Amino acid sequence: MNPTKSLRVFIGILCVAGLCCTFLFQHAAFLKIAGGGSDVRIFLANKAIRYILNDLLMIGLIYALFVKRNFVIFAFYVQVIGVVLFLLPYFILKLNFPTYNGPLVSYLHRLIVNPLLMLILIPAFFIQERQAAK
């Protein structure tokens, strides 16, 4: 089943708008608004929600751009691996060493709040499609 071009454009615009909203509302503490909790729980929830939401929106954008199931599945696996390799160590470092703000935490933070891994996948998939077309 191949979606029409207008549906793909709609999905792409929706995902880009979602990414923009995620950026604009990055400092909103939705858990605090919803009922509270400790500062640690709010921090963990906000970072985890932002990471997962950014990556899911990027997977939607990858789907809109390429409409290939294997690309979407691979992107999902990259997201899961990113949770294990980046999100969990970031949480461990921030919780166990709250005053440490060295380069390791800084780079992990950038990977958490920005969907960089997914952004790297888009040109990789484009090159792969170009190579397969030759």
Q: Domain range holding 30?
A: 5-127
Element (H, E) at 24: helix 5-24
Residue 28 belongs to some domain of the structure: yes
Residue 132 belongs to some domain of the structure: no
Which conformational region is residue 114 in: left (phi greater than 0), alpha (psi within -120 to 50 degrees), or beta?
beta
Please state the domain count of the chain. Answer: 1
**pLDDT 10s digits, 95-117:** 888 888 788 788 888 877 788 88
**pLDDT 10s digits, 15-26:** 999 999 988 888
Residue 134 belongs to some domain of the structure: no
Residue 133 belongs to some domain of the structure: no
What pLDDT does 32 receive? 67
**The tokens of 93 are what?**
């470092």
